[in-house]
Chain A
Amino acid sequence: MLEVTGLRVAYGGIQAVRGITFHVEAGETVALIGANGAGKTSTLKALARLLDAAGGSVRCGGREISALPPHELIAQGIALVPEGRGVFPRMTIVENLLMGAYRRHDAAAVKADIARMFGYFPRLEERAQQLAGTLSGGEQQMLAIGRALMGRPKLLLLDEPSMGLAPLMVQKIFEVIRSVAADGMTVLLVEQNARLALESSRRGYVMESGEITLTGDAADLLANPRVRAAYLGE
């Protein structure tokens, strides 16, 4: 589904991502974990074309996407839930969800999908006509995920979905992520919360200072002493 080869991202002269190679197979959930500043978010931003890559190739479904204009990405089936949620604060919840379906023209199915999102997140339904800016952080995260799913993507990129949320809210969000993945969605999950991410994934990559230093099945990584010491706080 997604093949990243030698991806480099630089800010001015500083290399944030130093030629990483990884892939995500159709239908699997893959975690990209690492410390703050390891280059995880830069990687996702480059995949979502919010940043220009300094080098390397990104192929999705066999097609090179690293030079596509950003607004064409959703048409390739790629949706990003950005770090910090990025909901439109002065638009209502329904309007935010409709923005997720901006490129779709099947009004009836869009309506059904909104109902489906409300099924995942009943909290959003109660506030359907409220402005997104009035929601709590957790509710905004729900909305950001719902909005991304409204585009019916094939590949869902999640950037730090647990950041800044209360533990109960994190659990709720990850329940939905796992349920979406169980329905066949391909997910690339970037997280600082390594345990949560690996427990929800099939495979994982560990990023350090812009490079991938470790990879393997999520279960093996969870058992790996280096990972346990560096990221699981043991």
Chain B
Amino acid sequence: MDILLQQIINGLVLGSIYALVALGYTMVYGIMGLINFAHGEVVMIGALVALAVIRLLADSGLPGVVVALVGLGAAAPVCMAVGFTIERVAYRPLRRAPRLAPLITAIGVSIVLQNLAMLIWGRNYHAFPPILPTSQHEVFGATITSLQVAIVLIAALMMGGLMLLVQRTRLGRAMRATAENPAIAQLMGVDINRIISLTFVIGSALAAVAGLMVSANYSIAHYYMGFILGLKAFTAAVLGGIGKLGGAMLGGILLGLIESLGAGYIGDLTGGFLGSHYQDVFAFFVLICVLVFRPSGLVGEKAAERA
């Protein structure tokens, strides 16, 4: 088995998920200059809602893919509603407040959502039922499962769709105009409150997809899973250049690869002193390096001055 190729495949899968979540951070930042730290919790809610529905239908005899899609069909609207509500309740009243204020409510919302999820779903880990096809494919000595292929393809499709939406449609133009200059966008007739709401809703829909992917990929979901995932996706967004869609995608994929390759080789490199459980450290090492050496990110133009 080729370890390098295997780690690259794993990294791409992980990176696709990071990229989807990172898009949610970067879209909101691009349009309002705000880090929505509750976004990871939206992913968690997506995962848990999807999983609840999937467990309910696991023995129904329906094909696994259909069950997963029904789960997503339930999770997406819930996440969109949560995203919409977060903006309304936690951020809109603070639109003119100092930058720090919405950052603090973001953390508050994050804690509220975690505890809400804990009350609903408990503190236990929930197993993802083995409903999806587990066929494995050999590629040059490495294995890739159908699920992994599906994750990468679906993530690529969603990202492509989002790019088309933002670059080619009237709504996308309004989003970009609002991001560049909200006052002038209003003069053009853009209802910027509506655009901001839609941005949260679209980001949350992507989060629901990512939530399902994470829980399927690791076969597990948990009320606390959004925290670390959110931080990593945020790191990916910063790595790529926060506020840039292309940056979030690039940053997500890169971070997935760095983590995966790092975890795969750290044991050999340190003579067994550090093991693959140090995987999570890489993301934050990357975050620190980016903040120190290139705070604007890989595709960012100038240093972001907003907190």
Report which A residues bind B (CB closer than 8 A). Answer: 48-50, 69-75, 79-80, 82, 86, 88-91, 95, 98-100, 102-103, 147, 151
Contacts and interface: CB of A to CB of B under 8 A. Distances in A.
A69 B174 CA distance: 17
Contacts of B190: 71, 99, 102
A138 B174 CA distance: 25
B180 A71 contact: no
Given A91-B173, A102-B170, A71 B181 contact: no
A86 B184 contact: yes
Contacts of A147: 188
Contacts of A82: 184, 187
B180 A151 contact: no
B143 to A, nearest CB: 43
A105 to B, nearest CB: 9
A75 B188 CA distance: 9
21 contacts: A50-B187, A69-B186, A70-B186, A71-B187, A71-B189, A73-B189, A74-B189, A75-B189, A86-B181, A88-B181, A89-B180, A91-B173, A91-B176, A91-B177, A91-B180, A95-B176, A98-B170, A98-B173, A99-B173, A99-B188, A102-B170
A31 B211 CA distance: 59
Across the A-B interface, the 7 shortest Cβ-Cβ residue pairs: A103-B189, A70-B186, A74-B189, A86-B184, A102-B188, A88-B180, A71-B186
B188 A74 contact: yes
Given A73-B189, A74-B187, 12 more contacts: A69-B186, A70-B183, A71-B189, A72-B189, A74-B188, A88-B177, A88-B180, A89-B180, A91-B176, A91-B177, A99-B177, A99-B188
B162 interface: no
Please tell me the size bucket of the interface on B.
Answer: 10 to 19
Given A86-B181, A88-B181, A95 B173 contact: yes
Interface in B161-180: 170, 173-174, 176-177, 180
Interface in B187-216: 187-192
Contacts of B177: 88, 91, 99
A74 B188 CA distance: 7
Nearest to B187: A80
Interface string B134-178: 000000000000000000000000000000000000100110110
B265 to A, nearest CB: 40
A147 to B, nearest CB: 8
B185 interface: yes
A175 B176 CA distance: 32
Given A91-B173, A95-B173, A100 B180 contact: no
B191 A69 contact: yes
B173 A100 contact: no
Given A86-B184, A88-B184, A102 B176 contact: no
A48 B173 contact: no
Contacts of A90: 176, 180
Contact of A102 (B174, B180, B183): B174
A81 to B, nearest CB: 9
B176 A151 contact: no
B95 to A, nearest CB: 14
A151 B187 CA distance: 10
